[in-house]
C-alpha cells in the first residue's frame, strides 16, 4: 500500500511532458518553397547551358548591363529582407502597430515594418522595369538573341515572384488591420510570408551574381 501511495505521489510531482508539433502552415510553406527552388534550378540550368553554347553572344550583350544600377536595386531588395524580419519579430511580440512616434524606429510594429518592406519591394520592381526599357532601347529583347531570351525569362519570372510577395504583404496587412485582436494566427501569417520573401531575395542574389557579375 505504501508503494502505491509513493507511486501516486511521484506521478503528481513529475513534470508534465508535451509533444511539440511543427506548425503545419510553416511546414507546408517550406515544402512549397522547395518546389519553387526546383523551378529556379531549371532556369539556372537553362542559363548556363545556353551561355556555354554561344559564349560570343554573352561577350557582346552583357556589356549593356548596368552593374552599378543593378547593385543598387539588389541592395534595396536585400535590405527589405531585414525590414521584413523586423516586422516578424514585432508580430512575435504581438505588436501590430508602433507604440511611439513615427520617427522612433525602435518602437515600430508589424504595420510599419511591412509597409516599408512593401515600398522597397515595389522600388525593386520599378527599377527592373526601368532597366528592361533601357535594354530594349539598346536592341536587347526577349527574341533578339539567346542572351535576351534567357535574361528576360530568368529575371522576369523572379519579378513575378516579387510581385506575388507584394500581394502577400497586402494580405498580411489587411488581415492584421481586420483582426479584432492580434494573435498567433496573424503572427503565423507574418512568419510564413517572411519565408517566401527571404527565399525570393536569396534567389535574386544568385541571379544577380551569375548574370551581372560573371559576365
Closest CA to 175 of 119, 106, 91: 91
Mean pLDDT calculated for residue range 183-188: 87
No. of H helices and E strands in the chain?
7, 0
Q: How confident is the model at residue 79 (pLDDT cuts 50, 70, 90)?
A: very high
For residue 76, is it left (φ>0), alpha (ψ between -120 and 50) or beta? alpha
More confident residue, 112 or 7: 112
Burial of 105 (0-12, 13-18, 19+ CB in 10 A): middle
Position 18 pLDDT exceeds 50: no
Structure-derived torsion over alpha carbons of residues 97, 100, 106, 110, reported in degrees to the nearest 10: 0
- Contact of 186 with 175, CB cutoff 8 Å: yes
Q: Give the span between the Cα atoms of 23 and 195, in whole angstroms.
A: 13
Q: Give the span between the Cα atoms of 90 and 28, in whole angstroms.
A: 23
Position 199 pLDDT exceeds 80: yes
C-alpha cell read off for 148: 535576351
C-alpha cell read off for 182: 492580434
Task: Name the average pLDDT for the chain.
Answer: 86
List for the chain the helix, strand, coil content (%; round to 5): 80, 0, 20
Position 1 pLDDT exceeds 60: no
Q: How confident is the model at residue 4 (pLDDT cuts 50, 70, 90)?
A: very low
Position 68 pLDDT exceeds 70: yes
Give domain limits for the chain. 25-213
- CATH code, residues 25-213: 1.20.120.80
pTM of the model: 0.84
Q: Of 26-35, 71-80, 138-147, 148-157, where does mean pLDDT reach its minimum?
A: 26-35
What number of residues does the chain have? 215
Amino acid at each position: 500500500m505504501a508503494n502505491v501511495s509513493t507511486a501516486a505521489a511521484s506521478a503528481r510531482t513529475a513534470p508534465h511532458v508535451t509533444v511539440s508539433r511543427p506548425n503545419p502552415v510553416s511546414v507546408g510553406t517550406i515544402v512549397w518553397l522547395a518546389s519553387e527552388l526546383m523551378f529556379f534550378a531549371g532556369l539556372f540550368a537553362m542559363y548556363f547551358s545556353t551561355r556555354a553554347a554561344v559564349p560570343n553572344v554573352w561577350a557582346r550583350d552583357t556589356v549593356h548591363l548596368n552593374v552599378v544600377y543593378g547593385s543598387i536595386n539588389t541592395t534595396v531588395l536585400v535590405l527589405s529582407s531585414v525590414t521584413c524580419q523586423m516586422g516578424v519579430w514585432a508580430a512575435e511580440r504581438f505588436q501590430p502597430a508602433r507604440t511611439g512616434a513615427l520617427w522612433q524606429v525602435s518602437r515600430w510594429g508589424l504595420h510599419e515594418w511591412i509597409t516599408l518592406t512593401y515600398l522597397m519591394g515595389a522600388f525593386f520592381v520599378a527599377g527592373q522595369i526601368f532597366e528592361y526599357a533601357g535594354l530594349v532601347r539598346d536592341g536587347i529583347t526577349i527574341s533578339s538573341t539567346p542572351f535576351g531570351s534567357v535574361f528576360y525569362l530568368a529575371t522576369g519570372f523572379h519579378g513575378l515572384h516579387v510581385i506575388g510577395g507584394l500581394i502577400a504583404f497586402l494580405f498580411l496587412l489587411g488581415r492584421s488591420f481586420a483582426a479584432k485582436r492580434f494573435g498567433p494566427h496573424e503572427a503565423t501569417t507574418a512568419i510564413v510570408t517572411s519565408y517566401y520573401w527571404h527565399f525570393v531575395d536569396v534567389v535574386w542574389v544568385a541571379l544577380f551574381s551569375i548574370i551581372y557579375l560573371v559576365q
